[in-house]
Amino acid sequence: MTPSAAMSTPPKNMSLIPGGTFWMGSEDFYPEERPVHQVSVDSFWMDTTAVTVAEFRRFVKATGHVTTAESAPDPADYPDADPALLVPGSLVFHSPPGPVSLDDYTQWWTFTPGADWRHPEGPSSNVGGREKHPVTHVSYFDAQAFAQWAGKELPTEAEWEYAARGGLDRKAYVWGDEDSPGGKPGGNVWQGQFPWENLLEDGYERTAPVGKFRPNGYGLLDMAGNVWEWTADHYTSDHAHSTKNLAPATSCCIPRNPRAELATETAAGESYPLRVIKGGSHLCAPNYCLRYRPAARQSESEESSTCHVGFRCVVRIPQE
């Protein structure tokens, strides 16, 4: 099948990302985004929005899938953990009443027994009325299971960043170089002093329904903020290295469809390998986490689940 043939039958609720070459990374913000380097990706389809609660519910109903957050951790994976914490649950954000040290994330993150995709704030909460919000409290394994069921895959970091840029190569944000275009938030991110002062200028305290902000140049929605999104790549501190190409390099030796390899050892203190998450979330704020930018990247342990991480999928177009 040629790329043009695949493009003639667009998958439902997906946007075509035309292949091309771009400058990946940034020299202007966090060290892990360096060095800036050219990368080439082939054309592919990407979910126009993050996977929603309603879509994930259909997957669970069809397969009986039990998420990581709904399963008790294996004590062997956490030999030093408090047994009281080895129960089904997930991380939930709680805003402190006033300023706190930004060096102590325990001031706003709490492991909450009973928190999962159906109960985002804990067992007394539910997702009623949030069917169009991105699903959260999903681990890498949950996202991968959904993608396989849907006949899709998780994007590589290069695919995700290229798609997020929407054709605006080397720009700081999805929408250009200005943080708040026209003085208005370009996505569901934190306004005010994190983690205690949320001015709600974007209208949302937590996640927003998908598609409430303007699309990027490829028609993708919410590529900045709302929820972090899983990628298929293993995390490395220097994303220009420790990669393999999923296709032969271009004639000018620019990496084509690169994907990060698994490090020889899991990071110190981690029971599971780290994966790259992209896009930032509604908890990203300039005073703490200016990561709602295409080049921004963060590590997340594969089994981890939180109230601000979701995902979207891709379908790769076969190349001749």
Record the tokens describing residue 61, joined without a space: 């109903």
Give the dihedral of Cα atoms 245, 2, 154, 77; nearest 10 deg: -60
Distance in angstroms between the alpha carbons of the first and the last residue of the chain:
7
Q: How much of the chain exceeds pLDDT 90, in percent?
A: 79
Q: Would you state the pLDDT for residue 246?
A: 56
Q: Would you state the pLDDT for residue 1?
A: 36
Q: What is the pLDDT of residues 65-93, one digit of tens each?
A: 999 999 998 888 888 888 878 999 999 99
pTM over cut 0.95: no
Per-chain mean pLDDT for the chain: 91
Q: What is the pLDDT of residues 229-280, one digit of tens each?
A: 999 999 998 777 555 555 555 556 899 999 987 764 555 555 689 999 999 9
Q: Would you state the pLDDT for residue 92?
A: 98
Query: Which of these ranges, 149-153, 243-247, 281-285, has the smallest mean pLDDT?
Result: 243-247
Burial classification of residue 128, based on how many CB atoms lie within 10 Å of its CB (0-12 exposed, 13-18 middle, 19 or more buried): exposed
**pLDDT band, residue 58 (cuts 50/70/90):** very high
CA distance 151 to 153: 7
CA distance 303 to 15: 29
List residues bridging with 17 in a β-sheet.
44
Q: What is the pLDDT of residues 98-112, one digit of tens each?
A: 999 999 999 999 999
CA distances to 123, 271, 281 from 79, in Å:
26, 10, 31
* Residue 286 Rama label (left phi>0; alpha psi -120 to 50; beta): alpha
**pLDDT band, residue 2 (cuts 50/70/90):** very low
Q: Would you state the pLDDT for residue 269?
A: 54
**pLDDT band, residue 179 (cuts 50/70/90):** confident
Q: Would you state the pLDDT for residue 112?
A: 96
CA distances to 8, 64, 66, 297, 316 from 11, in Å:
10, 25, 27, 28, 11
Q: How much of the chain exceeds pLDDT 70, in percent?
A: 91
CA distance 30 to 287: 13
SS (H, E, C) the chain: CCHHHHHCCCCCCEEEECCEEEEECCCCCCHHHCCCEEEEECCEEEECCCCEHHHHHHHHHHHCCCCHHHCCCCHHHCCCCCHHHCCCEEEEECCCCCCCCCCCHHHCEEEEECCECCECCCCCCCCCCCCCCECCCCCHHHHHHHHHHCCCECCCHHHHHHHHHCCCCCCCECCECCCCHHHCCCCECCCCCCCCCCCCCCCCCCCCCCCCCCCCCCCCCCCCECCEEEEEEECCCCCCCCEEECCCCCCCCCCECEEECCCCCCCCCCCCCEEEEECCCCCCCCCCCCCCCCCCCEEEECCCCECCEECCCEEECCCC
